[in-house]
Amino acid sequence: MDLNASLIISNILNPPVLFFFLGMTAVFVRSDLEIPAPVPKLLSLYLLFAIGFKGGVELIKSGITQEVVLTLLAAISMACIVPIYTFFILKLKLDNYDAAAIAATYGSISAVTFITASAFLTELGIDFDGYMVAALALMESPAIIVGLILVNLFTTDGKRDFSWSEVLQEAFLNSSVFLLVGSLLIGVLTGEHGWQVMEPFAQGMFYGVLTFFLLDMGLVAARRIKDLQKTGIFLIAFAILIPIFNAGIGLLIARFIGMPQGNALLFAVLCASASYIAVPAAMRMTVPEANPSLYVSTALAVTFPFNIIVGIPLYLYGIELLWR
C-alpha cells in the first residue's frame, strides 16, 4: 500500500486536482467565487476538441492494428454489460425506473475523468495511445440504449411510445460525442502536419484549461453534496464501490487482451466513471419516472470526486500489481 499512498499523494499534488479542491472549498467557506457561464461550456468544448484532435493525430500514426480493434471491442462490450449487472444490483433497493437510469449513468463515461487521468499519465511519463479517445467516444452512448431496453423489459406501462429516432439522435449526436468524434476524424485527416500548427493551442493550453475546468467542477460538485442526504447510504456506498468494481473488471480484461499500462489505466477509468451530462439528459427525456437527483448527485458529487482523487492512482496501483 506504500506505493499506492505515494501515487495518491502525487496525484493530489497536481494543480488540476488541487484546483478541484479549491473549488469545493470555495463552496464550503461560502466564498462568492464562480466561473461565469458560459465559460465552463467553452472550456469543455476546448477539452473535447483537444483530446479528440490529438487522439486522431496519434491514431493515424499508429494505424488500425489488431490491438486497436481488440481495445475498441472491449470498450463497447463494457459499455453494454456494465449497465446490465449494475441494474440488478440497484434493483435490490430501488424501483425499476431509478435502477435503469442509474445503471445507464454508470455504464456511460465521464470525459473529464478520462482527461484528468490522461494528464496524470503524461505527468508520470507513462505512454498511452491515441485510439483510447476512440474508446472514450464509443463508450458514451451504448448505455443509454441498454438502459432504455431494460426499462422496456422490466416495466409494463404499455404507453411508453417515445420515438427511438429521437433517442438515437440524442445518444449519438449530442454535442460532446459529435465534437469528440469530429475532432478525432479531423486529427486523422490532417495528421502530423495539422498537429504542428495546432500544438501551442491544443497542447500548450491543455493543462491550464483542465485546471480551470476542474476548479469549476469543484464548485459544481460541492453544491451537489447537500443533495446526498436524500439519496441515502445505499447509493453513496454504491457510488464508491461500483467504480472500483468496474475498474477491476476493466483491468482484468485489459490484462487479458494485453493492453499496455497507460491504455489499461484509461480503460479502467472509463469503466469506473459515470456520466453526469449526456446520460442524465437522455434519461430525463426517456425515463421521466426516474428521479434525476439520484443519478446526477451520485455521479457528480461522489463518483466523480472519488475517481479524480483516489480512483485514478488506485487503479494505477492495481496495474502495477497485475502487470508485474
Q: Tell me whether residue 103 or residue 133 sits nearer to a copy of itself (CB atom).
A: 133
Q: Are 195 and 187 in contact (CB under 8 A)?
A: yes
CA 111, CA 107: separation in Å to the nearest integer? 13
Contacting residues toward a copy of itself, per CB under 8 A: 13-15, 18-19, 22, 25-26, 29-39, 41-42, 45-46, 49, 53, 119, 122-123, 169, 173-175, 178-179, 182-183, 186, 189-190, 194, 197-198, 200-202, 204-205, 207-209, 211-212
**Residue 284 sits in the site that holds another protein (CB under 8 A):** yes
CB of 198 to a copy of itself, least distance (A): 6
CB of 286 to another protein, least distance (A): 7
CA 198, CA 190: separation in Å to the nearest integer? 11
Q: Tell me whether residue 2 or residue 161 sits nearer to another protein (CB atom).
A: 161
Please report where in the chains the cell 446490465 appears, as a residue. Answer: 84
CB of 112 to another protein, least distance (A): 11
- Residue (of 51, 44, 24, 50) closest to 215 by Cα position: 24
**Residue 159 sits in the site that holds another protein (CB under 8 A):** yes
In DSSP notation, 111-133 reads HHHHHHHHHHHHHHT----TTHH
CB of 234 to another protein, least distance (A): 18
CA 316, CA 12: separation in Å to the nearest integer? 14
**Residue 229 sits in the site that holds another protein (CB under 8 A):** no
Query: Backbone phi, then psi, for 88, in 5-degree steps?
Result: -70, -35
CA 317, CA 324: separation in Å to the nearest integer? 11
Q: Are 108 and 279 in contact (CB under 8 A)?
A: yes
CB of 206 to a copy of itself, least distance (A): 8
Please report where in the chains the cell 489499461 appears, as a residue. Answer: 264
Q: Tell me whether residue 131 or residue 304 sits nearer to another protein (CB atom).
A: 304
User: Residue 13's binding partner, choosing from another protein, a copy of itself, none, with beta-carbon cut-off 5 to 8 A by kind?
Assistant: a copy of itself
**Chain residues 161-190 in contact with another protein, contact rule CB under 8 A:** 161-163, 170
Crossing angle of helices 66-91 and 96-107, in 10° steps, is 160
Q: Tell me whether residue 191 or residue 260 sits nearer to a copy of itself (CB atom).
A: 191
CB of 194 to a copy of itself, least distance (A): 5
**Residue 37 sits in the site that holds another protein (CB under 8 A):** yes
Cell of 206: 491543455
